[in-house]
Structure 1
Amino acid sequence: VIGLLVGTGFFLVARQLAGAVSISQRSVFPHDLNPEFWLASLIALAVPAAAVAVTLLALRGVVIEPLGVVRTATPRRRRIWWRLLLPLAGLGLLAPMMGRGNEGGQFNQWQVSGGVVLLLVGITVLLPWLLERVVGRLGGSGGVSWQLAVRRLQLTSGTAARLVGGIAVAVAGAIALQMLFAGTEGEYTKDTGQDPARATVSIMPRHGTDAKLDELAATVARSKGITKAVALRSTTGSPDPDRADQDVNLHIGSCAALAELARLPSCEDGDAFVLTGAPDPSAPQGAPAAPGTTLYVGDARGTEAGADGSAPVAWTVPADARPAPARKDPIGLLRTGVLLTPAAAPKSLGTHQFAQVYVLVDPAVPDGLELARNASFKAEPLATAMTLTQTQTSARFGSIRTGLFVGATLVLVLIGASLLVSQLEQLRERKKLLSSLVAFGTKRSTLSLSVLWQTALPIGLGLALANTVGLALGAVLMRMSNVRVRVDWASVAAMTGIGAGVALVVTLLSLPPLLRLMRPDGLRTE
């Protein structure tokens, strides 16, 4: 009960600090951490009940006497046959549902949950047997710290296995889920057609003159981490303002900007080009233009009612305009119409034009994308900065996958806190032994390394078993979802690294208490 009260206090304190913690670029507001009443009540009842049940189960083979605690029987060699029944039963529940994904059939939620739970629980019963077999075969070779750790594990391998079982289960489950999400990601990811290798950001100012657009491009180009920034303006012209189907698209910009829309044979200020090639259905369509055609450019139909004081401008397509094969721009559109350098473009277009700046960010500069956005905001606060990506993943799918990763990380941190408490308790119980070893001349560094080996060996075996079970479970889930089985090694490495990191932190935090327990006063007794 005191533990529940203390835990509630820790939760209330941690909730106020939650806003300052970010995992995988995700954080929460304190008021978001508002647990359900029935879940909190269930925990308040289940935790003491579980503590009592585990204690009674553990004391069945122990007799309490006034002179100490004596085990009633010698430990028996662990058997493997019944330990394999749990994971095999889990596979037996999941196997009939393979191939049912993508409308191949219906899933029984209880059967899926039961199979996954049996597979994961199988780790906790296989790990003690595996650890016992491995440490039992380790001989007396190695340094003193290694021999002390191995002998300790040979005597109490079950305790070490129980300590790391939680980490192994969490890592295995996280690996399986991340594999499943990596396998199904293709169904929630689409190709945008954008080319971030040519432009990382597309800045679209809301309004502005030609000079202001050029100033925006120049300001962004001077910013740190920006490789290039080119401005492009687009407008329409028509030989007959009363017929919208005859509109011709005009694209105005420097030679570097026009090179993003077409393959130019050569270019200098004053040149004009007529785009050739099949039009893109997704791009703004326009009528073909021929050199020498007279067009009315600007607000030809009076849709802006002369709000900016500009009237349609009569302009003729230069007779020396050369053909240029169109290419997809960085956004992925294949344009049509006429390309114009500033000297060849019509003047006084007013605001009846669409402007954008293509910005390429240096990938070697940290936070280059944020620097580009900041530069855009400083130069033009109302401009929209759109990040270009080659693929786009469903926001809901990405949030769920990130949430699972964050959840698994938090679970491992909580398990690490529990592991630390158990580790400190074990060290306290061995206070006399540690003090005696130091009194006999054992180096403190040797004992510290011994504690490190005692943690590292079970953790290593636990993570190896977790990877095996996690990969197997992930493969089964992917077959159930009817997707191609492939291993997401990045997720495997990430979860394994987090698990190993938690174990390392626990070991390092246990070293200061260990050094205190090695003092001579640890030999005092009554």
Structure 2
Amino acid sequence: MNQWGRDLALGFRFAFAGGREGWTRALLTAVGVGLGVALLLLTTAIPNALAARDDRANDRTDITYSGQVPAKADDTLVVADADTDFRGADIRGRTLEPEGPRAPLPPGVDSFPAVGEMVVSPALKRLLESDGGALLRERLPDRIVGTIGDSGLVGSADLTFYRGGQGIGQYVDGAQVTRIDRYGDPDPYETDMDPVLVLLVLVVFVALLMPVAVFIAAAVRFGGERRDRRLAALRLVGSDGRMTRRIAAGEALAGALLGLVLGTVFFLIGRQIAGSVEVFRFSVFPADLNPSPALALLVAVLVPAAAVLVTLLALRGVVIEPLGVVRTAKPTRRRLWWRLLLPLGGLAMLYPMIGQGNDDGEFNQYLVIGGVMLLLVGVTALLPWVVETVVARLGGGGVAWQLAVRRLQLSSGTAARLVNGVAVAVAGAIALQMLFAGVEKDYTKDTGYDLTTAQMEVTTGGGVELAHATEQLRRTEGVRQVVSHSEGYLGDTRLDPARTSEVTVGGCAALREVADLPTCRDGDVFAVRDAEWDTDTPQLARPGTTLYLDPSYEGDVRGREVAWKVPEGIRKVATHKDLSGRERGGFLITPKALPEAARPAMTGRAYIGLDASVPDARERVRNTAAALGPLVLPHDWSATQSNERYDSIRTGLFVGAVCVLLLIGSSLLVSQLEQLRERKKLLSALVAFGTRRRTLSLSVLWQTAIPVALGLLLASAVGLTLGAVLLRMTDTKVRVDWASLLSMTGAAAVVVLAVTLLSLPPLLRLMRPDGLRTE
């Protein structure tokens, strides 16, 4: 152990005291390792960031839909939902009316805003004050009197506001308007994720972290060839082969330790930047990104250990002698059999879980992680063999092609290392895309909305007349048509009715949207027959029966029940799907047949068809709704609705993919610059002999393009295989999304092309005859 320590320490000294060659290589290694370490630290910090976001979201919870509404007191607060959207961005809003001096303040708010005032998040304030927020300012005209602190926001880009209200306590219903005596959900409802979602999380983490590990392993070998030649001098002063390899490992260790320092700096800089950006509508505060101490320590131990291990393994096939390094001799052909064992072992670990789906309990997490890792590591093992085998068979061509091919034939392993990370990232991305596309139908349901007729819905409340709201919406720019009706419930008694039925009130045109009416005129009443789940209406729809509109439940005697007698001329009609995609039951009543006293108890709904040619038509509808009253809420319609947790996992994948893509580009650029630095004298010699610069530039492009093309082909094959196995594990039919596959490989190719173009300026500077000068 003492000898190991002395040799590693000597290599450590060579890295920083061995002249420009030594510290340049150490710096390149540190930058490559540092980028990977920064992303690893970010990954270890994500669980804490998500937990912090969830805690703040729970702390500001007010509308819980639990139905348990406290009585009015001096410590209660009336809260009304005022959420809205603006050009695809969700804005959380609440209207507040304190009922006493001890009413609870929302987190991050110092005092309640008065009527006509509001407090907003910093991000919303910037949006309202920007030129692009003019339409939103019309919707939120209240005077801004303060900003919400970080404790009341889930992220730095959170769009939230609280405004003052008056007279909304009379509309408390426990859902849209509620009364609370404290903030926070006392009984947060959490359900365990089903096995398929757990599988998605596991595969996302493995697929995103594997390229990082591959890049770190490649970074510690930067400048390997020139380092090995320098190590030959050590043999002249008496060191043996093992000691020389340990000294080389010490050099790699120095670069890795410096990489840990740079990685920490990169992470701290990135953490500050993260507080000012939003990726896929996901934002955090810098303080949220705190890596777990245990995981951070694991990174700090594994990265230097990996540097030493990778270096020792890489030097097994290199003979370092006093007179040089035996690397230029023709190497033995790489063997294929042991390389196939890795992906085959991965398939063997995943095979027992094929067909399991959601019905056979949890997937074995260790088998999933191990199997996916082996398949992705198999890419790094197979790619050098593939590159060597293919380039060995490439023949003649132009001068640039021959220069590139010959270079690849001499050092195919170096070329493969350059592409390994890209190939692993693409293989994982293809498998994930197949898995997400395959299970999407299980977590996405059809809403049933008739989007050909209506694209938005506006719900009226707070005493707003539906007829007035409908007229205002029709006058809104961008509105093509409006179909409206009101809804309510009736029962057989005033309090806690045994039988209930729904009521739909509207003109004949509106009622024809929900049922098949033979004839209709104002004053008619209809009862829907044979409606699914509606067993009470046939008992209630007997002429002369007295029913009660807006009955009270669970002892909540509101005194707003209105008696209504079923008329003699009631007719039975058949129902059909309405614009919202559901079949209505109960009673259909035209306006003249509804008692005037019952109108305030009805909830109005307006279905709005938009003119797609009018810009910001949806925003104008929302502005009209806001002008009608604080309890008039618009809703966008969409063809499908996704599971919230599924969407969260998919968003996490997109955020992680962006980070990995940035790492790929940065690491490839550093690797490319290191390769050019290695070949500085060779390029200068070729220029001195008269080789055109365009020819050399094309040769560098071919040296990159050939391994990348082979790597993407191998990644596609492994990714498709892994994706098919994962789909069979979820008991889903295997289907290849070719568009996604091409987009994944295309994105990787674009990154490599961009890196190649960025490396051309330093390449041109290196291609000068004076590069042959030495000291």
Is TM > 0.5 for Structure 1 vs Structure 2?
A: yes
Kept in 1, the 8 Å contact 2:492–2:540? The answer is no
Residue 300 of structure 1 deviates from its aligned partner by 8.2
Hey, what's the Cα distance between the residues in 1 that align with 2:594 and 2:425?
Answer: 64
Hey, what's the Cα distance between the residues in 2 that align with 1:408 and 1:356?
Answer: 42
Partner secondary structure for residue 651 of structure 2? helix
Partner secondary structure for residue 584 of structure 2? coil
1:98 equivalenced with 2:354 (yes/no): yes
User: Cα–Cα, structure 1 residues 256 and 424, in superposed 2: closer, same or farther, change >3 Å?
Assistant: farther
What one-letter code is carried by the residue in structure 1 that aligns with 2:511?
A: L
Out of 643, 647, 656, which is 1:407 matched to? 656
Residue 355 of structure 1 deviates from its aligned partner by 1.1
User: Cα–Cα, structure 1 residues 361 and 104, in superposed 2: closer, same or farther, change >3 Å?
Assistant: same
1:132 equivalenced with 2:388 (yes/no): yes
Task: Give the gaps of 5 or more residues in structure 1.
Answer: none
Partner secondary structure for residue 487 of structure 1? coil
Out of 284, 297, 303, which is 1:41 matched to? 297
Task: Give the gaps of 5 or more residues in structure 2.
Answer: 1-256
Residue 165 of structure 1 deviates from its aligned partner by 1.0
Tell me what 2:330 maps to.
74
Partner secondary structure for residue 199 of structure 1? coil
Hey, what's the Cα distance between the residues in 1 that align with 2:551 and 2:751?
Answer: 68
Out of 274, 277, 286, which is 1:18 matched to? 274
Tell me what 1:430 maps to.
679
Number of equivalent positions: 516
Partner secondary structure for residue 381 of structure 1? coil
User: Cα–Cα, structure 1 residues 283 and 465, in superposed 2: closer, same or farther, change >3 Å?
Assistant: farther
1:274 equivalenced with 2:526 (yes/no): yes
User: Cα–Cα, structure 1 residues 479 and 525, in superposed 2: closer, same or farther, change >3 Å?
Assistant: same
Hey, what's the Cα distance between the residues in 1 that align with 2:629 and 2:692?
Answer: 67
Which stretch of structure 1 is more off in the superposition, 68-77 or 233-242? 233-242
Residue 438 of structure 1 deviates from its aligned partner by 4.6
Hey, what's the Cα distance between the residues in 1 that align with 2:551 and 2:367?
Answer: 67
Tell me what 1:183 maps to.
438
Residue 196 of structure 1 deviates from its aligned partner by 4.2
Out of 418, 429, 434, which is 1:174 matched to? 429
Tell me what 2:30 maps to.
none
Superposed, 1:214-363 pairs within 5 Å as 214-220=467-473, 226-235=479-488, 250-253=503-506, 257-263=510-516, 270=522, 272=524, 274=526, 276-281=528-533, 304-305=558-559, 312=562, 325-337=574-586, 339=588, 347=596, 349-361=598-610
Kept in 2, the 8 Å contact 1:101–1:481? The answer is yes
Tell me what 1:499 maps to.
748
Partner secondary structure for residue 601 of structure 2? coil
What one-letter code is carried by the residue in structure 1 that aligns with 2:337?
A: W
1:480 equivalenced with 2:733 (yes/no): no
Kept in 1, the 8 Å contact 2:420–2:711? The answer is yes
Kept in 1, the 8 Å contact 2:488–2:603? The answer is yes
What one-letter code is carried by the residue in structure 2 that aligns with 1:481?
A: T
Hey, what's the Cα distance between the residues in 1 that align with 2:736 and 2:526?
Answer: 49
Residue 423 of structure 1 deviates from its aligned partner by 0.8
Tell me what 2:407 maps to.
152
1:209 equivalenced with 2:464 (yes/no): yes
Residue 465 of structure 1 deviates from its aligned partner by 1.2
1:471 equivalenced with 2:720 (yes/no): yes
CA deviations 1:361-419 (Å, max 9, x no partner) are: 56788887666556544544333334444544332233223323432442233233222
Partner secondary structure for residue 483 of structure 2? strand
Tell me what 1:27 maps to.
283
Residue 317 of structure 1 deviates from its aligned partner by 6.1
Partner secondary structure for residue 180 of structure 1? helix
Hey, what's the Cα distance between the residues in 2 that align with 1:314 and 1:438?
Answer: 99
Residue 224 of structure 1 deviates from its aligned partner by 6.3
Partner secondary structure for residue 525 of structure 1? coil
CA deviations 1:465-511 (Å, max 9, x no partner) are: 11211111222223233333233445434433433333233223323
CA deviations 1:4-40 (Å, max 9, x no partner) are: 2221111111111114444444333323321111211
Kept in 2, the 8 Å contact 1:230–1:358? The answer is yes
User: Cα–Cα, structure 1 residues 357 and 472, in superposed 2: closer, same or farther, change >3 Å?
Assistant: same
Hey, what's the Cα distance between the residues in 1 that align with 2:743 and 2:258?
Answer: 36
Partner secondary structure for residue 78 of structure 1? coil
Hey, what's the Cα distance between the residues in 2 that align with 1:139 and 1:245?
Answer: 88
Tell me what 2:706 maps to.
457
Residue 427 of structure 1 deviates from its aligned partner by 1.4
Hey, what's the Cα distance between the residues in 1 that align with 2:409 and 2:460?
Answer: 71
Residue 251 of structure 1 deviates from its aligned partner by 3.0
Superposed, 1:372-411 pairs within 5 Å as 373=622, 376-377=625-626, 379-411=628-660
Residue 235 of structure 1 deviates from its aligned partner by 4.2
Hey, what's the Cα distance between the residues in 2 that align with 1:443 and 1:221?
Answer: 71
What one-letter code is carried by the residue in structure 1 that aligns with 2:424?
A: V
User: Cα–Cα, structure 1 residues 23 and 133, in superposed 2: closer, same or farther, change >3 Å?
Assistant: farther
Partner secondary structure for residue 337 of structure 2? coil
Hey, what's the Cα distance between the residues in 1 that align with 2:654 and 2:266?
Answer: 23
User: Cα–Cα, structure 1 residues 300 and 124, in superposed 2: closer, same or farther, change >3 Å?
Assistant: closer
Which stretch of structure 1 is more off in the superposition, 189-198 or 475-484? 189-198
Tell me what 2:767 maps to.
518
Asked which structure has the greater RCO (Cα within 8 Å, sep 6+), the reply is 1
Tell me what 1:164 maps to.
419
Kept in 1, the 8 Å contact 2:508–2:522? The answer is no
Hey, what's the Cα distance between the residues in 2 that align with 1:76 and 1:315?
Answer: 97
Hey, what's the Cα distance between the residues in 2 that align with 1:445 and 1:226?
Answer: 60
Kept in 1, the 8 Å contact 2:484–2:607? The answer is yes
CA deviations 1:295-334 (Å, max 9, x no partner) are: 888668895446xxxx958799696x88754222233332
Kept in 2, the 8 Å contact 1:262–1:275? The answer is no
Hey, what's the Cα distance between the residues in 2 that align with 1:509 and 1:178?
Answer: 29
Hey, what's the Cα distance between the residues in 2 that align with 1:507 and 1:104?
Answer: 49
Residue 345 of structure 1 deviates from its aligned partner by 6.0
Hey, what's the Cα distance between the residues in 2 that align with 1:344 and 1:101?
Answer: 54
Which stretch of structure 1 is more off in the superposition, 456-465 or 497-506? 497-506
Tell me what 2:342 maps to.
86
Kept in 2, the 8 Å contact 1:238–1:248? The answer is yes
Identity of aligned residues (%): 55
Partner secondary structure for residue 580 of structure 2? coil
Residue 207 of structure 1 deviates from its aligned partner by 1.6
Kept in 2, the 8 Å contact 1:297–1:349? The answer is no
Tell me what 1:115 maps to.
371
User: Cα–Cα, structure 1 residues 124 and 225, in superposed 2: closer, same or farther, change >3 Å?
Assistant: farther
Kept in 1, the 8 Å contact 2:525–2:567? The answer is no
Cα-Cα RMSD: 4.0
Partner secondary structure for residue 82 of structure 1? helix
User: Cα–Cα, structure 1 residues 414 and 201, in superposed 2: closer, same or farther, change >3 Å?
Assistant: same
Residue 463 of structure 1 deviates from its aligned partner by 1.8
Partner secondary structure for residue 174 of structure 1? helix
Kept in 1, the 8 Å contact 2:462–2:630? The answer is no
